Amino acid sequence: MIISRLIAKNWRNFQEINVPLRGRQFIVGPTGSGKSNLLDIFRFLRDIVKTDGGGFQKAVKDRGGVSKIRCLSARQDPEIAIEIHIADALDAPAKWRYGVGFRQQPRGHRWTYLTRECVWKDDKLLLDRPDENDKEDPDRLTQTALEQSAANAEFREIALFLQNVTYLHLVPQLIRSGDAIQGRIIEDDPYGQGFLERIASMHPSTRRSRLKKIEHTLKIAVPQFEKLEFVRDNTGRPHLQVRYSHWHSNEARQREDQFSDGMLRLIGLLWSLLEKDSIVLLEEPELSLNIGTVSELAPSISKLQRSQRSQVLVSTQSDVLLIEPGIDGREVLLLIPEKVGTVVKISSDIDYIRALLEAGLTAGEVVLTRYPEQLSLLE
């Protein structure tokens, strides 16, 4: 399943969002335009349905409350709202629609409560809150039906689907020294601290088949790359090991503590793309990957997607990442900062961009010209 449309109102620096989504979706915009905020909408939905210590109230609280989430340029409207459409496959009609709206009590305890919660299956309305029960007992509006297994029986599929959202902002230092750092692994491990342990704990045959696929991709993306293996050292600790073809000694191997940052991030990223039926959120993967690898990322994602059924949302500021000729204008969302907040557009809905793409230019050559000032700052 994939999220085929995102609609939102008053979420952080966006007053309004209403865009269709593809299986591979790039989110492009200058620093501060809201790329992370947009990805955070999906993390928020995931936090609502999280089984251990999740829930709507916590998801709001973890973000500093309604006053931090609500768009500062929203004048009157106190409501924040999100709606997603979920389809079985790309270009299929939406099977599910889930909508949630909330605000803060204007007086008194200033609780955060739901203004609405709706679920449609095909075109049938299954849930329409506030309902009679909510009117009798308004405290019920502090929780979504989606997060409660006693209330979501008819649409639990949505909750299970959203539990598969994975957010990745891999930090190579943390992957390398995961077990050497004092303290707990951050919830959901977005920075990859427990990455090696995760690989170690899988069924060996699944692990082998995933590593093979990653190895295959690395051979295309990384010059001279030959082999990727999982090993344990004599204290039993898990490691990843690589070999390059230009190394003369047959014995020569390198372990993750010697990998380049780019190599580690790439392996972590490919690994998460292999999670089935998942939604992977990648934050600016171009950071610390070398240019050759960045240019291979987009084709690698679509190759891996052919066999898995994952959806990948990638925030980026890199024209090189978008240089692949196969990238369709619909696969690039542009974040355009304006006085009233950031506007989100599909790149091919902008006339001159569509014309240039049709003329054969790549997304990388075209879309970042939207931001000439930022580009000159970066150069």
Ligand X SMILES: Nc1ncnc2c1ncn2[C@@H]1O[C@H](COP(=O)(O)OP(=O)(O)O)[C@@H](O)[C@H]1O
CA–CA separation, 12 vs 163, rounded Å? 23
Q: Nearest approach, Cβ of 372 to ligand X (angstroms)?
A: 17
Nearest distance, CB of residue 93 and Mg ion, angstroms: 33
Q: Fill in the DSSP letter of residue 143.
A: S
CB of 82 to ligand X, least distance (A): 14
Question: Which residue number is nearest to Mg ion in terms of Cβ?
Answer: 36
Instruction: Verify binding: residue 308, Mg ion, rule CB under 5 A.
Output: no
Instruction: Give the residue with the Cβ less far from ligand X, 35 or 210.
Output: 35
**Helices (DSSP H) in the chain: which residue ranges?**
35-49, 56-61, 66-69, 132-136, 156-162, 172-176, 195-200, 204-221, 261-273, 291-307, 351-358, 363-366, 372-378
CB of 83 to ligand X, least distance (A): 19
Residue 184 CB coordination number (10 Å): 8
Burial tier of 339 (Cβ tally within 10 Å: 0-12, 13-18, 19+): exposed
CA distance 76 to 345: 24
Closest distance between ligand X and the C-beta of residue 261, in Å? 20
Number of residues that bind Mg ion (CB under 5 A): 2
29/172 with CB nearer ligand X: 29
- Closest approach of Cβ 185 to ligand X, in Å? 24
Q: What's the min distance (Å) between Cβ of 13 and ligand X?
A: 3
Q: How far is the CB of 63 from ligand X (least distance, A)?
A: 9
In whole angstroms, give the CA distance from residue 165 to residue 188.
Answer: 10
Q: Between residues 74 and 119, which has the closer beta carbon with respect to ligand X?
A: 74
**What pairs with residue 113 in β-bridges?**
103
Q: Which of 41, 71, 270, 327 binds ligand X (CB under 6 A)?
A: 71
DSSP state of 171: -
Compute how many residues bind ligand X; rule: CB under 6 A. 15
- Report the first-to-last Cα separation within the chain, whole angstroms: 40
In the region spanning residues 4 to 43, those forming contacts with Mg ion, defined by CB under 5 A, are: 35-36
Number of Cβ atoms within 10 Å of the Cβ of 362: 17
Angle (nearest 5°) at CA 171 between 167 and 172? 130
Structure letter (DSSP) for residue 70: B
Among 9, 70, 97, 210, interactor with ligand X by CB under 6 A: 70
* Closer Cβ to ligand X, 333 or 366, answer by number: 333
13 binds ligand X (CB under 6 A): yes
Q: Which of 51, 62, 65, 72 binds ligand X (CB under 6 A)?
A: 72
| CA atoms 170, 257, 214, 275: torsion sign | negative
The interface region with ligand X, picked from 18-26, 69-77, 186-194, 267-275 by CB under 6 A, is 69-77
Residue in 16, 72, 10 with CA at minimum distance from that of residue 345:
16
**Binding string, residues 21-50; x marks residues near ligand X by CB under 6 A:** --------x-xxxxxxx-------------
Q: Binding partner of residue 37 among Mg ion, ligand X, none, CB under 5 to 8 Å per kind? A: ligand X
CA distance 357 to 327: 10
374 contributes a contact to ligand X by CB under 6 A: no
Distance CA 44, CA 36 (A): 12
Task: Quote the CA–CA distance of 134 and 274 in Å, as a whole number.
Answer: 41
Residue 272 interacts, among Mg ion, ligand X, none and using kind-specific CB cut-offs from 5 to 8 Å, with none
CB of 13 to Mg ion, least distance (A): 11
The binder of 135, among Mg ion, ligand X, none, by C-beta within 5 to 8 A per type, is none
Specify the amino acid at residue 327.
I
Which residues of the chain form contacts with ligand X (CB under 6 A)? 12-13, 29, 31-37, 68-72
State the residues that interact with Mg ion by CB under 5 A.
Answer: 35-36
